[in-house]
């Protein structure tokens, strides 16, 4: 090999090594800020995680809370500060919900998060923290309260696996441009939990394929879920938080009964979205599941919000 070719080969190898090192380097997290309006809990290291840490907030002046919004960040990310997010706090207060922000880390960080396999340890750690927060906040009703789950990337993976593990506790959940899912075919109970599954059309193809795959496998037997395809969106939050709040606003009154247990939805009602045409229409009572993939949404408002994201148009006011 000539000296020129050797130099080129070495240069390519160095670039590849540098890129790999950068991809695998742990993220630089800003320090967690103190917040006197919150409570913190942590679990000792478990089978499938190194850290499981939680921050809790509840709106003032609410005698009885109706549920908990759990916010899960991306891979090995620090998400406890999300319990202090003013937009999510405003939303939670309007629904008489508490908020928990999470911080999960793997023993050995990887692009396949062990901690997302929640039944192995992180799920029980979350439930134990909820029980402690219920006592410390003097809101005992939270020990059995329904959960609403929002998260990004690995946070969406955690949400999906929580819904697969404890569907009776989940009022609604979001899968958001994630990477790896431990549960392929969800149970009938999990398919009855309303959900949004977001993909970014400019994200890595394997992420798009993974989320689209779990949607397709579970929607065909009737999951009350919607796949949301965000145009011109990479691996980013995009419009997923805003649309999720619209969806949660509409579906929660249909799910909550004030006593902890969740009301089932009727898939024969609501609205249906066409994934190819990006259009919506009311579900036709008695109609068979269409041959082409469709999405299910609880209300006209949610359906129009879905169409707005699919078509990159503004949300209706």
Question: Is 0.85 topped by the overall pTM?
Answer: yes
CATH number at residue 255: 3.40.50.1820
Q: Is residue 100 part of a domain?
A: yes
Q: Is residue 2 part of a domain?
A: no
> What is the chain's mean pLDDT, rounded?
90
Q: Is residue 306 part of a domain?
A: no
Range of the domain at 181: 36-265
User: 5 CB contacts (<8 Å, ≥6 apart)?
Assistant: none
Q: Is residue 6 part of a domain?
A: no
Q: Judge contact between 168 and 232, C-beta under 8 A.
A: no
pLDDT score at 291? 76
Q: Is residue 173 part of a domain?
A: yes
Q: Which two tokens stand for residue 1?
A: 């090999």
Q: Is residue 71 part of a domain?
A: yes
Mean per-residue pLDDT pooled into runs of 10, the chain (317 residues):
39 34 49 93 98 98 97 97 97 98 94 96 98 98 97 97 98 96 96 98 96 96 97 97 98 89 93 96 82 92 98 94
Q: Is residue 138 part of a domain?
A: yes
pLDDT score at 1? 43
Q: Is residue 152 part of a domain?
A: yes
Number of domains the chain is built from: 1
């Amino acid at each position: 090999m000539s000296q020129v070719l050797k130099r080129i080969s070495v240069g390519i190898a160095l670039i590849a090594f540098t890129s790999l090192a950068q991809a695998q380097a742990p993220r630089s997290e800003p320090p967690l800020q103190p917040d006197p309006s919150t409570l913190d809990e942590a679990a000792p290291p478990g089978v499938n995680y190194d850290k499981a840490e939680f921050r809790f907030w509840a709106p003032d002046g609410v005698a009885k809370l109706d549920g908990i919004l759990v916010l899960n960040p991306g891979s090995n990310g620090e998400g406890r500060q999300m319990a202090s997010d003013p937009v999510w706090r405003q939303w939670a207060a309007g629904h008489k919900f508490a908020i928990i922000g999470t911080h999960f880390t793997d023993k050995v960080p990887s692009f396949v998060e062990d901690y997302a396999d929640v039944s192995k340890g992180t799920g029980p750690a979350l439930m134990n923290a909820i029980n402690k927060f219920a006592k410390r906040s003097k809101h005992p009703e939270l020990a059995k309260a329904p959960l609403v789950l929002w998260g990004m990337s690995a946070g969406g993976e955690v949400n999906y696996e929580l819904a697969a593990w404890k569907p009776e506790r989940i009022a609604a959940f979001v899968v958001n441009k994630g990477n790896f899912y431990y549960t392929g075919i969800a149970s009938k109970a999990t398919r009855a939990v309303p959900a949004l599954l977001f993909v970014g059309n400019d994200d890595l193809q394997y992420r798009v394929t993974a989320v689209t795959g779990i949607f397709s496998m579970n929607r065909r037997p009737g999951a009350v879920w919607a796949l949301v395809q965000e145009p011109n969106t990479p691996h980013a939050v995009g419009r997923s938080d805003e649309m999720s709040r619209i969806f949660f606003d509409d579906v929660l009154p249909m799910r909550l009964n004030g006593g902890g247990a969740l009301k089932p939805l009727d898939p024969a009602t609501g609205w249906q979205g066409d994934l190819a045409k990006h259009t919506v229409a009311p579900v036709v009572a008695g109609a068979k599941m269409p041959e082409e993939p469709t999405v299910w949404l609880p209300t006209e408002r949610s359906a129009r919000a879905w169409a707005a994201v699919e078509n990159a148009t503004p949300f209706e006011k």
